[in-house]
Amino acid sequence: MEFIETIKVNDKYFSQYIGKYELNHILENLSSQINNKYKDVVDNDHPLIIIGILNGAFMFLSDLVKMLDIQCEIHFIKVSSYIGTDSSGKVTDIIGLNTDISNKNVLIVEDIVDTGLTMLNIIKKFKSLNPKQIEICTLLHKTEKTVNPLELHYVGKEIKDKFVVGYGLDYNGQGRNINCIYSIL
């Protein structure tokens, strides 16, 4: 009989869904794709602009950029669309973009793409700033929940419609510090 680790976050129970080894494999795969794409495109004068979406992407982005061997700048923005375990479908203002992205290669790094509404709002805002190109890298993608067509360039893992915590993902502000990803029971 297999032992499945269970944890409690706030008032809900979760079981391990993606462990450390699988996360590391995902990171190696994504970083290899990004390195290959940008190795002849970016340099000291034209670094890749990487924009992490706070708060959830901080652990993923941190581990991902450690595996990149290309020139890059790292920035963060903050948006929110979750209330409890459900996406509200409403995006608050984008806060924190304090660099010029015009005529630059931009890579947005997200922890999870659910409905896609948050990302569509970010893309719309960023396109108005005239970047050379925008690509999206997400750790997780809930394909069956995505309601609008959205091109994701780098996807770590497609998952079912499960609520997940850990590795930056939270439930009502808690669970981000867990080093694996857990799904709700």
Q: Which domains does the chain possess?
A: 27-184 (3.40.50.2020)
- Residues 185/6, Cβ–Cβ less than 8 Å: yes
pLDDT of residue 80: 60
**Tokens in use for 149?**
């067509």
- Residues 38/154, Cβ–Cβ less than 8 Å: no
Least confident among 138-142, 145-149, 164-168: 145-149
Mean pLDDT in the chain?
91
Q: Is the pLDDT of residue 87 over 70?
A: no
pLDDT of residue 181: 97
User: Average pLDDT, stretch 19-42?
Assistant: 97
How sure is the predictor about 161, in pLDDT bands with cuts at 50, 70 and 90? very high
Q: Which whole-number Å values give the CA distances from 15 to 9, 34, 129, in the listed order? A: 11, 31, 42
- Cα–Cα dist 45/122, whole Å: 25
Q: List residues with catalytic annotation.
A: 114
Q: Is the pLDDT of residue 74 over 90?
A: yes
- Cα–Cα dist 181/19, whole Å: 7
Q: Is the pLDDT of residue 88 over 60?
A: no
